[in-house]
Amino acid sequence: MEIDATILIFAALLAIGGLLVFLMRRKGVESGSMAELKVLLEQMEAQNRELSGRLAQIADDGRKSQLELAKVLQDRLDQVSQRMGQSLENSATKTAETIGQIKTRLKVIDEAQKNIEALSTDIVGLQDILSNKQARGAFGEVQLENLVEAALPPNAYVFQKTLSNGKRADCLILLPDPPGPIAVDAKFPLESYRALSAAKDDGTRAAAAKNFAADILKHVKDISEKYIIPGETAESALLFLPSEAVYAELHANFSATVEKSYRARVWIVSPTTLMATLHTIRAVLKDVRMREQAGLIQKEVHVLLADAERLKGRVGNLSKHFDLAEKDIREIEISTGKITRHVERIEAVQLADDSAEEGLEKAARPRLVEDKG
């Protein structure tokens, strides 16, 4: 901007000088005025040269400034480019990692979606089963069979046992008398329970609660009349509810119904309480088997005691034999010592005899020499 302003001033001065020359020639200025004009023109030319030098210096400084500015700008651009490149590279790496994590999570979500779809299908199937009374009854019987098979030995129960009155129990637990075999029957009052759960006002809930209690008591009465037979079964039976929710609702809000079932000698159980009852029955069966085997165990204990006494006598005899053997060994050691001492004495006598004979031989040798001479 400074260079452009200087150039404009210089152009304006040139224009003024040219205009003055033109006017002097046009009007015929006098000689004195011409001299002044000449001096003025010379001053203007000097100023013009000075201005040209300044303009050249300014232009040179401008070029240097432009070069320095271009270098600074280039350095800044290089730094910015490097930073942007590094930033873009880091962003690309992080983006790739994020995309990988998103893909992994999408796979997990897909698997979860498949599981949810499968679960939805199973739930729909379960709803179809529970909506049908016959299928719902089969569902309760299967659950009952699974629990009994998991808790009791195979010889402790019978499924679908027909009693003497022609009625068939879902399960008969074979306990000794008393109490005797206990019948278990699965019941599932789902419609009345659903109506009770769906009730939105007090009147509807009261009617649904009445129906629910009536259904439970009807099942209790059927079990009491069909599966409690004096002399054949125990004096009580079990009503199996294959739903913890129904069992919880019954015991939380229908205590009078539960008490009536007690008076009818029908015990209402859920999957959890039935499992606890079955484990108690298993312990009872184990105790019964132990009592049945008590006589045999006692007999075996007596035999074991006799064997122990016999073993004790044999150990005593063996100990006596060891004592006799020890005595014989001591006597043998005494005899061996005596023999050893006798042998030593004999050896001592023989050594003495040998020494005497050697002395006689030495005494006889010179005489023999003399005789030979």
pLDDT digits (tens, 9 = 90+) for 124-133: 444 544 455 5
Residue 79 pLDDT level (bands cut at 50, 70, 90): confident
**Rounded CA gap, 263 and 221, in Å?**
11
Any idea how long the chain is?
A: 373
Residue 16 pLDDT level (bands cut at 50, 70, 90): low
For the segment 344-361, the average pLDDT, to the nearest whole number, is 63
Across 211-243, b (16+ Cβ under 10 Å) vs e yields bbbebbbebbeebbebbbbeeebbebbbbbbbb
Instruction: Strands of the chain (E only): list them.
Output: 157-162, 168-173, 182-186, 237-240, 266-269
Find residue 269's DSSP bridge partners. 240
Residue 24 pLDDT level (bands cut at 50, 70, 90): low
Residue 75 pLDDT level (bands cut at 50, 70, 90): confident
**For a pLDDT cut of 70, what percent of the chain falls above it?**
77
- 230: cis peptide before it, omega within 30°? no
- Whether 353 shows a pLDDT value over 70: the answer reads no
pLDDT recorded at residue 119: 64
pLDDT recorded at residue 129: 44
Q: Is 318:326 a contact under the CB 8 Å cutoff?
A: no
The set of residues, in sequence order, having a beta carbon less than 8 Å from that of 13 and lying 6+ positions away, is: 44, 47, 48, 51
What is the per-residue DSSP string for 93-136? HHHHHHHHHHHHHHHHHHHHHHHHHHHHHHHHHHHHHHHSHHHH
Angle at 73 between CA 67 and CA 77, to 5 degrees: 145
Angle at 124 between CA 118 and CA 128, to 5 degrees: 145
Residue 29 pLDDT level (bands cut at 50, 70, 90): very low
Q: Which two tokens stand for residue 362?
A: 């030495």
Q: How many CA atoms lie within 13 Å of 196's alpha carbon, on the beta-carbon side?
A: 20
* 3-class SS shares of the chain: helix, strand, coil, % to 5: 80, 5, 10
- Whether 116 shows a pLDDT value over 80: the answer reads no
For the segment 319-330, the average pLDDT, to the nearest whole number, is 82
- Whether 31 shows a pLDDT value over 70: the answer reads no
For 85-94, what is each residue's pLDDT tens digit?
787 788 878 8
Q: Is 136:190 a contact under the CB 8 Å cutoff?
A: yes
- Whether 62 shows a pLDDT value over 80: the answer reads no
pLDDT recorded at residue 369: 42
Amino acid at 146: N
Strand order in the sheet with 266-269: 157-162, 168-173, 182-186, 237-240, 266-269
**Rounded CA gap, 273 and 189, in Å?**
18
Q: Is 240:250 a contact under the CB 8 Å cutoff?
A: no
Q: What's the longest Cα–Cα distance across the chain? A: 205
Average pLDDT, the chain: 77
- Whether 372 shows a pLDDT value over 60: the answer reads no
For the segment 149-178, the average pLDDT, to the nearest whole number, is 87
| Beta strands 168-173 and 157-162, pairing class | antiparallel
Q: Is 187:246 a contact under the CB 8 Å cutoff?
A: no
**Rounded CA gap, 351 and 338, in Å?**
20
Residue 341 pLDDT level (bands cut at 50, 70, 90): confident
For 291-305, what is each residue's pLDDT tens digit?
777 777 778 888 888
pLDDT recorded at residue 14: 60
pLDDT recorded at residue 315: 83
pLDDT recorded at residue 354: 57
pLDDT recorded at residue 58: 76
- Whether 332 shows a pLDDT value over 80: the answer reads yes
For the segment 79-98, the average pLDDT, to the nearest whole number, is 81
For 242-280, what is each residue's pLDDT tens digit?
888 888 888 888 889 889 999 999 999 988 988 988 888
Alpha helix (H) residue ranges in 255-293: 255-263, 271-292
Burial label for 159, CB within 10 Å (0-12, 13-18, 19+), is middle
Tokens 């909506």 — which residue? 131
pLDDT recorded at residue 373: 40
For the segment 76-91, the average pLDDT, to the nearest whole number, is 81
- Whether 173 shows a pLDDT value over 80: the answer reads yes
pLDDT recorded at residue 20: 58
Q: How far apart are the first and last CA of the chain?
A: 169
**Rounded CA gap, 219 and 241, in Å?**
11
pLDDT recorded at residue 368: 42
Tell me if residue 267 falls in helix, strand or coil: strand
